[in-house]
Amino acid sequence: MKLAQIFPYLSHLSLTPRQIAGFNRMITRGTAYAGRLTAQERAILIRLLREEDVLPGMSHVITEKVSAEKGHTDLPSLLFGVLAPDWAGLADACLGTVHEAGLNIAYTHGFILRRNREKLGVVLMEVELPPHLTQKALDIARAKIQERLSIIASEDAAKRTLQRQEARRLYAFTTVTDLLRGKLSADDLKEIMGDSGEALKFFMSRHESYINQRTLGSIADQILGNYVMKKNIRSGHSSLEISFQQVTYNSKTLTGVTVITKEQSITFERLMRLINELVSQNHRYDDYAYFTADKLSVFHVEMTNQQDQPIIPDLQDKLAEAIRVIPSQKETLGPTPGVELIRRKIVPLMIDEEKDIKIPQGYIHPHAPDHFKAIIVASGNDKGFGLEVVGALTSVPGFSAAMPDKPNIMTNIQNGKEHQQEISIIDIWIDRRTLFGIKRENWNDEEIYNRIEQAIKTIPGFGPKLRIFDRTSRALRQMRLKAVSELAEKLNIPGDQIKSLFYSIGDRCLLNPEITNDAIFAQVKLEYQAHNRLLSGRPISVIFEEMKLTDNDPSFTALAVAFRYNQDRLKGIFEAVKKYQANSVCRTDFEDITLLLFNLSSGSAPLKTAEIADLTSVLEGLA
């Protein structure tokens, strides 16, 4: 295909003819499917390959209106292009995402593109748009599909085995529901096995290893027990339900403890502290915790005693009695929802990852503005480094660290052998003045993450091996900051101020490869200009600018407001913008100056001139 046919679709990009020709040759040589691609499809694939050059190994998604000669006259169809490391099921996953959004696919291409020694998966889909679809609904659907495609197209081990797993899971689900049929009335059976019933929720939320390593009879008893206990609380018969079950786990018998309650004072942390006190040196094999829509807390722990035997009935009674006393006891430090969220959402993923690759896993969690937590999952010779981590962190000026709780031990069977994993939680308190100096504009949370990681990396035999869960996103942010800082230097804007303004912008914008560095810099520059106007003597500075993050995103009005901090003035600003659709707001503080950056729209469009004039008058009146 001639470059002259492709170039019109790429003229708005900063690609040279030589680059376009190079990518075009790569397509021609990389797939036998190249001859069937239209000029627009080739152009999208060139853009995808360019993104792969910038951010290799990631999933990339581009959406574009189909060219006029092929599309509709009112709302043209959309062309979605996906490029990602190839894995079995990529095309099906992309098609399912579009269908889930309620849109129909006119045609699709799916093929492998060979690039040197790499195999990249390519999916091109033209999506039909129904005549009744409004522009606003189209923008929402397109953004939703593009976001989901970029997530689902990324390759990982779970997706490669998903089809295999689902077949086994379906067999287990069918067997368990058959067991339940003989134990329930018709009404209860309908409720427990419906689309939002207890059985389906249980299977959707449990890991495959959990299902495979327990007898289906044990699982059926657990589902039935949870249903009955919730029903008792919802009917008003009790506010707290406790049950103990025998759980067959491979060749072992575990004791399952389930607590379901509407008492807010019972948290998973308090429950675990109580269990560890009464059943010292227990072996914990699994646990889960979640909250229902009607605010019931559900906690479940499977464990054995110090001798790795089930908990005896007398001790079960003592434990139940102690749990019932919790609501009447005052919690000195209060519940820690941040830790419970980590335990439910992050730790299970860390446990699975460490189990698979045998490399210690770490996660840094911002518990409070000056209080971070480092969560570490390790096994084998990597266990037992908790105090070394505390020591390494404490040696950093501005950090103080402690490990107030004894690490938890999780035991599971892998390849017929016991595999023990240690979960440690380290508390880190930050003195920002010591760490960064007294100027608040130099304070930077990203640097706190880096210094925590760097300190742990100094521990011999452990630190260099530790894998930090969120390192990739931090690296992408730093790459983006460098590019934006270079744009600022051309306008002689100080780098230290750019850094603070940059980090006030949300990750969905900073980590989106579709949003250019220029688009991010435009937002940062607007805040900087508002700040400078305030320094010239104005009591409040207001600047508006119409912006667009990507070619496919709707335009919006960016509003930067700078003012000397005052609580009443801050409330007045937020009250003033309520009249419009505030899609996002970012905030930065420089000493006594507060900067706000709003993304505003009115009727899914930028603010009109009259609306801007009205809002300006209200905001300047707050001075």
pLDDT in tens, 466-494: 988 766 676 677 788 888 988 988 888 87
Residues 151 and 163 in one domain: no
Q: Are 493 and 508 in contact (CB under 8 A)?
A: no
Residue 176: the pLDDT is 85
618 pLDDT band, cuts 50/70/90, is very high
pLDDT digits (tens, 9 = 90+) for 227-278: 999 999 999 999 999 999 999 888 889 999 999 998 877 888 788 878 888 8
**Do residues 288 and 391 both lie within one domain?**
no
Q: Region 297-304: what's the mean pLDDT?
A: 91
User: What is the phi/psi pair of residue 397, to 5°?
Assistant: -60, 125
Between the two ends of the chain, the Cα-to-Cα distance in Å is 62
- Give pLDDT tens digits for 187-211: 888 888 776 678 887 887 777 778 8
Give the total residue count for the chain. 623
- Please report the pLDDT score of residue 334 as a whole number: 37
What mean pLDDT is predicted for residues 103-129?
86
pLDDT for 217 beyond 80: yes
Give the residue carrying structure tokens 């929720």.
201
Kindly report which listed range (26-40, 334-348, 517-531) carries the lowest average pLDDT score. Answer: 334-348
Q: Are residues 170 and 283 in the same domain?
A: yes
Higher pLDDT, 612 or 3: 612
Contact 34, 114 (CB under 8 A): no
For tokens 């971070």, the residue is 372
Indicate the average pLDDT of the chain: 83
- Give tens-digit pLDDT for 138-148: 667 666 666 66
Of 119, 131, 38, 20, residue with least CA distance to 76: 131
Count other C-beta atoms under 10 Å from residue 52's C-beta: 22
Task: Express each pLDDT in 493-514 by its tens digit.
Answer: 877 678 778 878 877 788 777 8
Return the pLDDT at 71: 42
Q: Any idea what the CATH number is for the domain that residue 187 is in?
A: 3.10.310
Could you give the CA distance from residue 111 to residue 113 in angstroms, rounded to a whole number?
A: 7
Domain match, 116 and 251 both: no
Residue 165, pLDDT score:
58
What's the DSSP call for residue 602?
A: B
Q: What angle do CA 445, 363, 386 make, to 5 degrees?
A: 110
* Same-domain pairing of 77 and 22: yes
pLDDT of residue 303: 92
Categorize the per-residue pLDDT at 163 as very low, low, confident or very high, splitting at 50, 70 and 90.
very low
Do residues 324 and 367 share a domain? Answer: no
Distance CA 293, CA 304 (A): 31
Query: What does the angle CA 411 – CA 414 – CA 415 come to, to the nearest 5 degrees?
Result: 150
Task: Read off the pLDDT band of 332 (50, 70, 90).
Answer: very low
CATH of residue 377's domain is 3.30.1360
Residues 539 and 488 in one domain: yes
Pick the more confident residue, 264 or 526.
526
Last residue of a domain, one of 100, 134, 155: 155
pLDDT of the residue at 378: 93
| Helix 17-30 vs helix 39-54: crossing angle, to nearest 10 | 100
The reported pLDDT for the residue numbered 592 is: 78
Element (H, E) at 453: helix 445-457
Q: How confident is the model at residue 73 (pLDDT cuts 50, 70, 90)?
A: very low
When pLDDT is cut at 50, 70 and 90, the band that residue 330 belongs to is very low
Do 510 and 599 belong together in one domain? yes
The single residue listed with the structure tokens 């339940």 is 180
345 and 280 together in one domain: no
| 268 and 219 together in one domain | yes
**Residues pairing with 63 in the sheet:** 80
Range of the domain at 22: 3-155
Q: How far apart are the C-alpha atoms of 143 and 571, rounded to whole Å?
A: 31
Number of folded domains that form the chain? 4
Among 123, 155, 187, which residue terminates a domain?
A: 155
Domain limit, last residue, from 469, 490, 511 = 469
- With 0-12 / 13-18 / 19 or more C-beta atoms within 10 angstroms meaning exposed / middle / buried, residue 598 is buried
The per-residue pLDDT for 526 is 94
**pLDDT top residue among 16 and 606:** 606
pLDDT, tens only, 9-23: 887 777 888 888 999
Taking residues 209-230, what's their average pLDDT? 88
The pLDDT > 70 percentage for the chain reads 86
Q: Report the side by side order of strands in the sheet with 60-65.
A: 60-65, 78-85, 118-128, 104-115
Q: Specify whether 605 is located in the same domain as 555.
A: yes
- Give the pLDDT band of residue 456 (cuts 50, 70, 90): very high
Q: Report the pLDDT averaged over residues 95-104.
A: 74
Q: Are residues 405 and 417 in the same domain?
A: yes
